[in-house]
Structure 1
Amino acid sequence: MHPDATLAAEFTATSSYPHAQYLLVLYGFVVAAFALFAAGVYGAKTSGEVSKAYRPAAIASTLICWVATLAYIVLILEWVLGFHAADGGRTFTPAAGTVVTELRYMDWSVTVPLLTVELLAVAALTRVLAFRLRLVAIPAAFLMIATGYLGVVLGEDAQRGVTGAFWLWGLISTAFFVVLYGVALRAYRATAQQLGGEALISYRNALILLFSVFGAYPLAYLVPLWAGADNSGWATAEQLTFTFADILAKAGFGILIHKVAKLRTAADALAAGGVAGTVSAASVPDTLPAEVWISGELVSVPPARATDALAAAAAGPAQRPAR
């Protein structure tokens, strides 16, 4: 390995990639950018379908997806511009100063704290408890990523392998992960006491998805332990694992949380006074500016339309306005 490539090897986990593996990682980056951008557009477009009480979840989801999209654009540029073909195009070697995994930690430093905001925004919590959990979760999420980043920067050496700092910062990062797990468990228990049915099932599924995906990150963090800096096969697996986990944790989790927000909006609307009979609609004044559809069924409508529906229901079938 050329001495100037040492830093690059530390962050890419390899000094060079065969042509096929290089293209496979690039393929993952591009697909992730497209998927996250599409999820961000969906979040922005449908944010009006949830009440103001749960809209922070939709806003956080949109921000997460768009920040991650920008991060993947940067990764794509770094991958295309930071590597040069060698051996007649059979391998791709990083130029001096090329970094990849380092860029991911910069993305996660923003998006993982936002994931906790998204998670708590749809939980059934008192205002005091929600504030306390956010006060713990947001710093813990940031410190989990920041200390993991220190483990990568200070703990790996392309010549000497893994050092003690790698283990130290990795364990500290794990401690913050345990804190986040405790916050999520507390939020779920409080939510389970207030909610039931499909909303609670969707919330539980979102938690299972998020923490299952989170488990992939420490596994990838440990890749250099048994693979070393020059193993292109493990390096490719590491980058693809990170990419797939990002899509699930940001786009997949966001879709599940958005469903919870819509279900809770519909439940609040019906609790405020539903329309009996053939009209399945209700309204929450000043908090529901758009229709809410779940699985093709209209479950909430804006106040003006709900008022018309109530009047029509009271007037009886013969006097209802023609559709």
Structure 2
Amino acid sequence: MYLVTVLRNLLSILAVSSDSALHTPMYFFLSNLCWADIGFTSATVPKMIVDTQSHSRVISHAGCLTQMSFLLLVACIEGVLLTVMAYDCFVTICSPLHYPVIVNPHLCVFFVLVSFFLSLLDSQLHSWIVLQLTIIKNVEISNLVCEPSQLLKLPCSDSVINNIFIYFDSTMFGFLPISGILLSYYEIVPSILRISSSDGKYKAFSTCGSHLAVVCWFYGTGIGMYLTSAVSPPPRNGVVASVMYAVVTPMLSLFVCSLRNRDVQSALRRLRSRTVESHDLFHPFSCVGEKGQPHQISTSANPAP
């Protein structure tokens, strides 16, 4: 599942970057979302695989902080990008004539940079707070992932300050993005219903439906993971929730948002055909004669002038 997620995301990025027809804001955001998916699953799954094969259950303090910081960074980037893509859908459907002016390349780059710096600030703030804790040796975490909610609930930490920070952070990177997405779709759905063409309605619903499915998977599994951590479930439930969040969600996001898109599928087919043609062009036995027989390529001691 990890290899499928990484390779298919890389293929989608390559298809979008190599096809000029896909050089639009929506596919620019989709490419960045693919990078975020790769980073999201790479922050946890390789360590899971190594620990499973070596039967080791130990991670260093620095390694745990690094994993937590990188996981928070890419998770927040993905959440902000999903909100930006909802805004892109809103402008596309509700103001199609003003779309090239509103969603211009400078604004797209600005959105991506803002999402990165806000996410970096959040991850570093988490790391700074965890570093303030008096970490004792041999602390056991009932999970496969170093989650901020579990690290901040260590018995040696100040629970009041940590709870305030968790609520504030959940509001900033959970409640506000979800509110923005819901507000966008509150305006999008009536606009789609007013479209007279059935093909236009189908295309709009297909694009928005794929995006909404990814939003539900991403936030649904994330909220489920944090709820299971909050109510202190049996360790097995927390592990299953983390595996769903770190492994299954990025793979399903790829299949729903990218591989179901007809334009991306067409770009992948064109990329494959160009690869095959270039391979045939440089292959020494690929020349075909008039009757379908391959020409024999030979060298001569006395070449003709």
TM-score, scaled to structure 2? 0.54
The answer to whether residue 192 in structure 2 is matched with residue 184 in structure 1 is no
Q: SS at 1:159's partner residue?
A: coil
Aligned residues: 228
Q: Which residue of 1 is the match for residue 102 of structure 2?
A: 128
Distance 1:190 1:137, change over 3 A: farther
Q: Which residue of 1 is the match for residue 48 of structure 2?
A: 76
Distance 1:39 1:76, change over 3 A: same
CA distance in 2, matches of 1:207, 1:152: 34
The answer to whether residue 51 in structure 2 is matched with residue 43 in structure 1 is no
The answer to whether residue 127 in structure 2 is matched with residue 163 in structure 1 is no
Matches within 5 A, 1:105-254: 105-114=69-78, 116-117=80-81, 120-121=84-85, 123-125=89-91, 126=99, 127-128=101-102, 131=107, 134=111, 138=115, 156-159=152-155, 163-176=159-172, 177-189=174-186, 191-192=188-189, 193=191, 196-223=201-228, 225-227=230-232, 233-234=234-235, 236-254=236-254
Deviation of 1:180 (Å):
0.5
| Amino acid across the alignment from 2:111 | R
CA distance in 2, matches of 1:46, 1:117: 20
Q: Which has the higher strand share?
A: 1
Matches within 5 A, 1:54-69: 54-69=26-41
Percent identity, please. Answer: 6
Distance 1:118 1:220, change over 3 A: closer
The answer to whether residue 8 in structure 2 is matched with residue 34 in structure 1 is no
Give unmatched runs, 5+ long, in structure 2: 92-98, 134-150, 193-199, 271-305
Equivalent residues of 1:148, 1:173 under 8 A apart: no
Deviation of 1:207 (Å):
1.9
Task: Please give the root-mean-square deviation of Cα atoms over the aligned residues, in Å.
Answer: 4.5
CA distance in 1, matches of 2:60, 2:167: 30
CA distance in 2, matches of 1:151, 1:200: 43
| Amino acid across the alignment from 1:257 | C
Segment of structure 1 superposing worse, 74-83 or 211-220: 74-83
1:18-38 Cα deviation digits (max 9, x unpaired):
xxxxxxxxxxxxx4x224223
Matches within 5 A, 1:310-321: none
Q: Which residue of 1 is the match for residue 256 of structure 2?
A: 256
Deviation of 1:56 (Å):
0.8
Matches within 5 A, 1:263-278: none
Distance 1:143 1:210, change over 3 A: farther
Give unmatched runs, 5+ long, in structure 1: 1-30, 85-91, 267-287, 293-323
Q: SS at 1:215's partner residue?
A: helix
Distance 1:218 1:143, change over 3 A: farther
CA distance in 2, matches of 1:99, 1:238: 20
